[in-house]
Structure formats: C-alpha cells, structure tokens
Amino acid sequence: MHRVPAAIKMIALALIILLLLNIQTIPLLSAMLAAVILIAITAHLPVKTVFVLMLYPSLFLVILFFSITGITVAAVLIIILRVFAITGAVVVFFLTTSYPAIFSILSRFLPGFMIAALFFTYRSIFIISDSLNNIRTMFHLRGGINYRHPAATLSRLGTALGHFLVHSIEMSQRISDALKVRGFKNRIYHLGDKNG
C-alpha cells in the first residue's frame, strides 16, 4: 500500500468515496468498512491510531442525530457506516502517502494560493498539536485537574485555553515574520523527491 503511486491512490480514494456515497444497503456498507480496516491492517498501520482518527467525525454525527427527527434505525446505521468507511479510507490514504507527494499532485490542478493555504493548514496542525500537547502536559503536572472541584477545574481549563489562544496568535505572528523575511510570494514550491 505504501509503495502504490500517490496519484493512483488518490484516484482510488475518489472512486471509493463515490461508491460509498451510492451504496444504500447495510451489508454492503459493512463489507466496505471491513475492507478498509483490512487494508489498514495489511498495510501495517497502527490500528489504534487509525481508529482514533476515524472517531473524529463521530462528534458531528452526534450533532446531526440530535438535530433531525423521524429518522429510522436503518438510516442511522447507513449514515454511521458510510461516514466511518469514508473516514477510514481517507485516514489510510493519508497514513500511507507522504504529504509532499499529495501536495505535488494537488499542485498540478489547484492554483498556487490554494495550495499554499492547504499546506499552511497542514503544517500548522503539527505545530499547534505540539503546543497543545505541551500545555496539556503542564496542566496535568501542575495539578490543573481536580475531580473534587469541577468548577475550579473548568476555570483553570478556561485559563489554559486562553493561554493556548494567545500562544497561537503569537506563533502565527512569528510565522508571518518568517514568511516575510524569506520572501514569500503566495506560493509553496515542491521540487519532487531528490535521489542519488
């Protein structure tokens, strides 16, 4: 799976998503979800990570189910299976393809500023997640969570969140400074893998 060219994987992903959007039966959708999980296992991907990443859309599913009424159990199952199968396929694609390769393909048909925006979003996720992890660790180490005093814990969580927000704003200012001094002109270049 890791060795399949990124372009082929991207086309396959698009076809799988199209297929999943058109399947209306629970057994077929279950089979597709099972196939995605099987691919993840045979590709030696960390199964726990795949499952955790697949869980992210469940938040939106909960909001969706709370906001609509008169939906049948079968319809609920179809939506859940479809969402998890699509998310699973996307997760497998991202975990088996290097982002410069994805970036390289997208650069062929998307305008430069969009690629730059997508790229910065992707790059920021790494930096912000590092920062968030540090704040979370410090919060635990300094006894920020006290289950006996939920109100105080919530208040401290708010402070930590505020701290994170300020930190993020300062960081984005520094990234903007770096872009300025490095002569950024709304384009990110990928010159391909260099061998030899």
**Is there binding between residue 165 and another protein (CB under 8 A)?**
no
191 binds another protein (CB under 8 A): yes
Which residue of 68, 74, 127, 152 would you call a contact of another protein, by CB under 8 A?
127
Nearer to another protein, 56 or 184 (CB): 184
Going by C-beta distance under 8 Å and a sequence separation of 6 or more, which residues neighbour residue 9? Answer: 93, 96, 97
CA 73 – CA 93 distance, rounded (Å)? 30
Interface segment toward another protein; rule CB under 8 A; list 36-44, 68-76, 85-93, 177-185? 177-185
Using the CB atoms, write b or e for 146-179: b if 16+ within 10 Å.
eeeeeeebeebeeebeeebeeeeeeeeeeeeeee
Tell me which stretch binds another protein (CB under 8 A): 69-77, 137-145, 157-165, 173-181.
173-181
**CB-wise, 62 or 127, nearer to another protein?**
127
Element (H, E) at 105: helix 99-109
The Cβ of residue 17 has, within 10 Å, a number of other Cβ atoms equal to 15
User: Which residues in the 85-114 window bind another protein by CB under 8 A?
Assistant: 98-100, 103
Q: Which stretch binds another protein (CB under 8 A): 19-27, 50-58, 89-97, 176-184?
A: 176-184
- Residue closer to another protein by CB (options 19, 128) is 128
Cα–Cα nearest to 95, from 23, 189, 193, 2: 2
> Per CB under 8 A, does 118 bind another protein?
no
> Is position 121 an interface residue for another protein (rule: CB under 8 A)?
no
Q: Distance between CA atoms of 167 and 170, rounded to whole angstroms?
A: 5
Binding residues (CB under 8 A) for another protein: these are 98-100, 103, 119, 123, 126-127, 171, 174-175, 177-185, 187-191, 193-194
